[in-house]
Structure 1
């Protein structure tokens, strides 16, 4: 079954390509080869301000964010790729999520009741590259920032299932291991997972 897939590349450096871009390319190639429809968002290429007040959060978002919201509404499956910086996602990606997941987009607040989840029926994959061992991040640091993204942003809006791919020791990966990760992401793209 064909799926509509949105790849969100969260690396904040727009000046050059990184391994996360190659991972996104391979995922997209696998998905397109299997007949899935694919769109992409490069967060580093978007213009948007950081939110600083409650009033900023509650007003209409800039055009680049409205386009991102439309792409998320269009998608059946989201693929989020980013590097782990200081134990979490880069600040630009967090700022993007704060802009996108405003009241009325991901959840509708109902005055004292639990919010209505507006993105139910969508699934996601989070792929994170990191300098440290993925084993250490998962079992010593308990993958705290990925769990927060899953629970407090995506899950809060009804997105599930949410799967993760953690790629550790990125600076010391051999060419063979890099190719294995690229093959894995291409295979996930073929499956639309």
Structure 2
């Protein structure tokens, strides 16, 4: 199994970075994981801005040479892991900009007759590890589960990825957040996954 980790947080002295280290540690100890690639969007200097003009058209985004290496990473990966905070009920703009550019028509999906397209990323799976300041169940009770609906239904299912696992960790800035316990939970998960 090839594992692509997409890390979206601007501070390497953070809890999110600690989650990244646990994912890497567990994955390195897992004999089912053949190779790991880490894409740190902030460290990479990824440009999340969409630009469309006479030279750069939306319909051609799937073959944009500036993001070819990122498309190759997605195609290479069997499992994609996203690590990010939940800000204002959704992932950071940096990650959404990555999604806007990479999950493009004719790369991630293909339009066809009817309501739904053909997902072109079938067979891959996703794990989302997200942190938030508020309560763990805040997105579910107060935001009608909008985070999971956005990521699973509006994005991953749309492009053919059916297997999506979520770790939504709340109270991460408080003394009662059980941060160490949650870090260990993620580590154990990645140490054992087999597909």
TM-score with structure 2 length normalisation? 0.86
Any stretches of 5+ residues in structure 2 without a counterpart? none
Instruction: Tell me the CA shift for residue 112 of structure 1.
Output: 5.9
Other-structure match for 1:46: 45
Equivalent-residue separation in structure 2 for 1:100 and 1:71 (angstroms)? 10
For the pair 1:23 / 2:6, whether they are aligned, the reply is no
Q: Over aligned residue pairs, what C-alpha RMSD do you find?
A: 2.1
Q: Of 163, 166, 184, which aligns to 1:164?
A: 166
Q: Matched residue of 1:134: which SS?
A: coil
Equivalent-residue separation in structure 2 for 1:143 and 1:43 (angstroms)? 26
Check the 8 A contact 1:88/1:145 in 2, yes or no.
yes
Residues 58-97 of structure 1: pairs in structure 2 closer than 5 A: 58-59=59-60, 60-63=63-66, 65-97=67-99
Decide whether aligned partners of structure 1 residues 160 and 132 sit closer, same or farther in structure 2, where only a CA change above 3 A counts: same
Aligned pair count?
187
Equivalent-residue separation in structure 2 for 1:103 and 1:24 (angstroms)? 30
Instruction: Tell me the CA shift for residue 159 of structure 1.
Output: 0.7
Other-structure match for 1:32: 28
Other-structure match for 2:181: 180
Instruction: Tell me the CA shift for residue 58 of structure 1.
Output: 2.3
Between Structure 1 and Structure 2, the one with more helix by share is 1
Equivalent-residue separation in structure 1 for 2:175 and 2:72 (angstroms)? 37
Any stretches of 5+ residues in structure 1 without a counterpart? none
Q: Of 4, 11, 14, which aligns to 2:2?
A: 4
Equivalent-residue separation in structure 2 for 1:49 and 1:150 (angstroms)? 21
Q: Matched residue of 1:110: which SS?
A: coil
Greater shift after overlay, 73-82 or 103-112?
Answer: 103-112
Instruction: Tell me the CA shift for residue 62 of structure 1.
Output: 4.8
TM-score with structure 1 length normalisation? 0.87
